[in-house]
Amino acid sequence: MDSYPAPALAMVESMHAAAAQDPARAIAFQGAPGANSHRAINEWDPDALPLPCFSFAAAIEAVEEGRASCAMIPIENSQAGRVADIHFLLPESELCIVGEHFLSIEHSLMALNDKGPFKGAYSHPHALSQSRQYLKERGIVPLSHADTAGAAAHVAELGDPEFAAIAPNLAADLYGLKIVEENVEDAADNTTRFVVLAREALDPATLAGQETMTTFVFEVKNIPAALYKAMGGFATNGVNMTKLESYQKGASFAATMFYADIIGAPTAYGGDPAVDRALEELAFHCKGVRMFGTYPLARQRG
């Protein structure tokens, strides 16, 4: 299965077999068993069957093909910013956002022994950047790996006591490593936001009485002040836009797409007519707008 370290591979195969028996309970994620995405699934739905996938694209594909009911994908981190290439992957898929989840990120240094000293520490680049000061103060060289839990499995496979990994505690439990030190992240408020992707949008009836978030992408017309005009409807209708990110469409640099989150829902989802008016004005100034879903608000913004 792609290139998981040997200590993770048997576990991955077992989890795939369990998910195949009950795909309705399976939730796909990117990474090796024990990754933060695995933790997020355990918090989101303790009865779920986590389905590890080597890439974000593979996790989305598992949902599209019916091998999982949904996927848990990290979208942004409070320290590192944008996490996944969801801006590119989601528009190419037919999946919808049906939920969001915030996970407190707690990194631990783990190794074959808890004594040290350590020459280097393997982890995902984001985890390394989030623990940069800790590693610098101890003279530990940061070593990049595909994901945090995969780094822990790699250290177990290496069998060299001079190398460590930065990963969630769950990874140490799974791969037989010892915790050298907990909470090695430089910022105590390190948090990652995940979105839950499924083949079908939520039934509007399930959102009754709940605060909601709506996500969409759009491409403005190639005229002066197009973005300013497109955003005007949200201001005049009192709709709070909590996220706006731009990204290039294709390699020509001729078309810019925008990814946006707003608080509230269209009236089709039992929401506010003001959201309808804002989206209608947005569409007037755009080449295209694609809605990704309306779902419960997991955390208050502002």
Catalytic site residues? 192, 194
> Helix and strand tally (H, E) in the chain?
10, 15
Tokens of 291: 């809605």
- Work out the burial of residue 208: count CB atoms within 10 Å of its CB; fewer than 13 is exposed, 13-18 middle, 19 or more buried: exposed
Q: Which residues contact 84 (CB under 8 A, 6 or more apart)?
A: 30, 56, 73, 74, 75
Tokens of 16: 């795939």
Q: In terms of DSSP bridges, do strands 81-82 and 178-181 run parallel, antiparallel, or are they unpaired?
A: unpaired
Beta partners for residue 29, in sequence order: 52
Which runs of E-coded beta strand occur in the chain?
26-30, 49-53, 70-77, 81-82, 96-104, 108-111, 120-123, 141-144, 163-167, 178-181, 191-198, 212-220, 241-248, 256-263, 286-296
Q: Cα-flanking dihedrals φ and ψ of residue 70, to 5°?
A: -160, 175
Distances (CA, A) of 290 to 216, 245, 253: 6, 15, 20
Separation CA 133–CA 79 (nearest Å): 13
**Contact assessment for residue 153 and residue 64, using Cβ atoms and an 8 Å cutoff:** no
Dihedral (CA of 92, 98, 103, 107) sign? negative
276 SS3 class: helix
Best CA proximity match to 243, nearest among 218, 222, 220: 218
